[in-house]
Structure 1
Amino acid sequence: MKIALGQKFTSFLLRSGWALAVAATVATSPVPATAQDGAEARIRKLEAEVRALQRATFPGGDGRYFEPQITSGSPGAAQAQPAATTTTAVTDILVRLDALELQLQRLTALSEENTNSISQIQSRLALLEASPAAGASLSDTIDPSPSLSTQTNLDAMTGGSSATTEAEQTLTQPSEPEQSAASGPSAERLAAVQQITKPQTGDAADDEYSYGFRLWNAGFYPEARQQLTSFIDQYPDHWRVTWGRNLLGRAFLDDNMPEEAARWFLRNYQADRTAPRAPDSLLYLSESMMAMDDTRRACIALAEFGETYPAVASGRLLDQYEANRRKITCEG
């Protein structure tokens, strides 16, 4: 009986020890995962409430107090950034378009002004080329006054006022040496002259001048003088008359008749200083005076040419002007 009770007690102790061991094991085992998740959630909630409190206390989202909830890598930032960029780009494009429109308006205005100015210049040039009288009326604005008196120089070239009057009377009817009937042109010369055809352009006056030019260019100086004299007498107001008088003087000068040539050159220059061939006549006048060994008047003509026509003297007639100056020595 005692043995049986001892065995039961021993068995009870063994069972109790086992239970205590199990309880100790359970007491010292780690906290379950469910309890850890709950603590983590509570911590996150507290951190969120602190951040909310910080935003209310420090408005503006200063990074010194809390981190922004939306960062550059988050989806929300990727959606919010393009809106601001698009607005800035559109505004910049509109500003640039306004600037371009303003520049186009200015360029258009300048283009219209330039076109109008060019049209006026072309009209004035056409008027000057078509009408010598109109060119004379504009001489005060387009032709600078020479520093040396023109009339004084012309008086010096013609020997004073009385000589000028005599020269003008002589120039009214220039002398032309007449060929004697006995020594008329040969048949060969007449045949050669007939080979020079007169142009037929519809402008009779211009055709007369052009025919005289062709005769002069071919070396038929007497025939050219006769043709050009007829042209000047028939069409004294034609725009080609300044070319005709100048070429008539050259027909005399090339035929070794410098005195007659000088009269025509002087007449053409005095008729209209703004005429297209007035500078040429003044320069050829100096050559005529040199051919007559009149250095003083040749120097006066050269000086007058350089002062009255500086643009032509340094441009179209520069070579001839420099060549004439090298032929003589002028004082001053």
Structure 2
Amino acid sequence: MNFLLSPSTRRISQAAFAACLLMTSVALPASVRADDTDSRLRQLEGSVDTLNRAVFKGEKPPTPLSTTPAATDDYQASVESRISALENELRDLTGKVEKQEYETTQLKANFEKAMADINMRFNDAKAGATPAAGTAARQTGTLAPNDMGGDVPQDTTNPTSLTSPVEQPLDPNAPASQESPTVQKLGSVPVAPGGATIPPTGDDATTQYEAAFSLLKGGNFASAKSGFESFIAKNPKSPLVSNATYWLGESYYANGEFEKAARVFAESYKKYPKGPKVADSLLKMGMSLGASGKKKEGCVALKQLKKEFPSSDTVTLRRADQEIARFACQ
């Protein structure tokens, strides 16, 4: 057919055919490059997913799918970015843990400071006691401060009943609640006529304990103190000693002697950490501290109760919340 075309027409046709060939040769590399870019993008997405699994699930990341310089650089940048984010999260969590540890340390330090202050004040009060006061103490059989150790401030406002987990303030001269855990354990103890019975001097520890408790229920607090002190001195290894120490504190508390009550409750808490009255001792120590005007120290003790015994008796915790609100603890 070429022989029918003029020379000029043949040249135009040849030029058009060459142009088509040139355009086809240029288009093919562009398509190849697009496919290569898409493949690299999929490889990077797979690398990021692999990194996430390695970070959050502990899987070992495989060797990168591509070893080209660009892919390696992108992969390294992604890893470094993720590591930086994890380091920031770790620093944030570390800061929170350190803050909690600091607050716990401060609470413990404040509690120990309050205990030391109570001891110092009680010892100072003892050193400055008048002869008449000393004589009265001997007549009631009160233990010397160092016999029990520790001290706690007193609550001069409306002393409560002898059992710590009570809901309403009671007359300090009223008998102990019949719902006391100790009363339930030992059974009902008849109140001595007139509350003036002297504790027995025999060796029967249970009888001596019940007699002292009977005095306490009858409102004869001075004789009850003497009875519990005698019991503790004569039966130091009795399983009832921890309870007797607590009720000795209640005898002081009901009699309005809050400084001494605080000291005994503090000793009960420190000396018998596994005893049945440890949470109640901490509660009454806080109440005694607040009642004596040392509300700050009382708040420390009450907060320690909620922190150390979060699963304690519901009534005890509810009473602690009431006292915290009454003392306006921060």
Greater radius of gyration (CA): 1
TM-score, structure 1 length as denominator?
A: 0.44
TM-score, structure 2 length as denominator?
A: 0.45
